[in-house]
């Protein structure tokens, strides 16, 4: 039995019809191949758009945004993980280290918070928040004098920021209550005084502080050591813990507002 031949179109335009005529089997393969090819093209386009939209920088920013959401919700461990992922994609962004420092501080991992804050300061030395984060971590570590210097650096970058000035003072009071330093006699170091020379009023205030400190020292030399101890003893023993708690509460309040 002879195989059935495909009938060819007749009449006008038969050449065109002959050129385009295909057996049903090949027509199906062509349609299938075309559909598969189109699907591959679409997939490539989708993948390309996805790759473009999910570059390392964009993905790092997404992790940061998710970390911020977790931080605000009090999910500090999740926030730390998300910021860590962002840092893995972009280790040169001070903001990621600063944010992770805040998350560490919230779970009282102050050593890690300090490391991240110092990294942020190293990457962006003139960024105020990096120094504030460093001061926060040092406050958590009970290193109030170092915290004061960190806040002071931030205040020098933004001299008109009253909140930063209040943080400097609060840290100084905490340092005094902890017995680290008598900040009333020496609030500004010699190096810090150099930074204040441009302002006559601040310079006068510094001189006045120096005169007060000298007079205080002379008065101390004249008075007997026992009398001085007796006068200051009750304040240091009974008053200091209350003052320490008050200063710590003030610092904590300011830190919450600074975040």
Q: From first to last of its 259 residues, what are the pLDDT tens digits of the chain?
A: 454 544 545 555 554 444 444 444 434 444 444 445 455 444 443 444 344 445 778 999 999 999 999 999 999 999 999 999 999 999 999 999 999 999 999 999 999 999 999 999 999 999 999 999 999 999 999 999 999 999 999 999 999 999 999 999 999 999 999 875 544 545 555 445 555 555 544 444 444 444 344 434 443 443 444 343 434 333 333 444 444 444 444 444 444 433 3
Q: What is the largest CA-CA distance in the chain?
A: 135
What's the confidence (pLDDT) of residue 189?
53
What's the confidence (pLDDT) of residue 69?
98
| CA torsion through residues 190, 193, 197, 202, sign | negative
Q: Which domains does the chain have, with CATH numbers?
A: 56-182 (1.25.40.10)
- Tell me, letter by letter, the H, E, C secondary structure of 181-230: CCCCCCCCCHHHHHHCCCCHHHHHHHHHHHHHHHHHHHHHHHCCHHHHHH
What's the confidence (pLDDT) of residue 196?
53
Contact (Cβ atoms closer than 8 angstroms) between residue 192 and residue 200: no
What's the confidence (pLDDT) of residue 141?
97
Question: What gap in Å lies between CA 161 and CA 158, rounded to an integer?
Answer: 6
* CA 73 distance to own-chain centroid: 16
What's the confidence (pLDDT) of residue 249?
46
Question: What gap in Å lies between CA 68 and CA 193, rounded to an integer?
Answer: 38
Query: How far apart are the two ends of the chain, measured CA to CA in Å?
Result: 90
Contact (Cβ atoms closer than 8 angstroms) between residue 56 and residue 22: no
**Secondary element (H or E) of residue 48:** helix 24-53
What's the confidence (pLDDT) of residue 54?
53
Question: What gap in Å lies between CA 246 and CA 259, rounded to an integer?
Answer: 20
Judged by DSSP in three states, 142 sits in coil
């Amino acid at each position: 039995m002879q195989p059935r031949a495909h009938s060819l179109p007749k009449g006008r335009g038969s050449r065109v019809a002959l050129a385009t005529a295909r057996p049903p089997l090949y027509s199906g393969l062509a349609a299938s191949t075309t559909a598969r090819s189109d699907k591959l093209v679409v997939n490539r386009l989708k993948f390309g758009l996805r790759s473009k939209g999910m570059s390392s920088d964009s993905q790092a920013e997404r992790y940061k945004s998710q970390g911020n959401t977790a931080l605000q919700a009090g999910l500090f461990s999740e926030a730390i993980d998300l910021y860590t992922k962002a840092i893995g994609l972009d280790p040169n962004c001070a903001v990621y280290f600063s944010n992770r420092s805040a998350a560490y501080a919230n779970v009282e991992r102050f050593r890690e918070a300090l490391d991240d804050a110092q990294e942020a300061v190293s990457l962006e030395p003139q960024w105020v928040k990096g120094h504030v984060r460093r001061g926060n971590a040092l406050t958590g570590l009970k290193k109030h004098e170092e915290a004061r210097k960190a806040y002071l650096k931030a205040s020098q970058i933004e001299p008109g920021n009253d909140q930063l000035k209040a943080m400097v003072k609060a840290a100084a009071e905490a340092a005094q209550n902890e017995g680290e330093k008598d900040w009333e006699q020496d609030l500004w170091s010699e190096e810090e005084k150099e930074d204040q020379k441009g302002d006559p009023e601040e310079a006068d205030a510094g001189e006045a502080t120096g005169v007060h400190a000298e007079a205080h020292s002379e008065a101390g030399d004249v008075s007997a050591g026992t009398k001085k101890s007796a006068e200051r003893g009750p304040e240091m023993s009974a008053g200091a813990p209350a003052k320490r708690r008050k200063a710590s509460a003030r610092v904590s309040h300011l830190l919450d507002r600074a975040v």
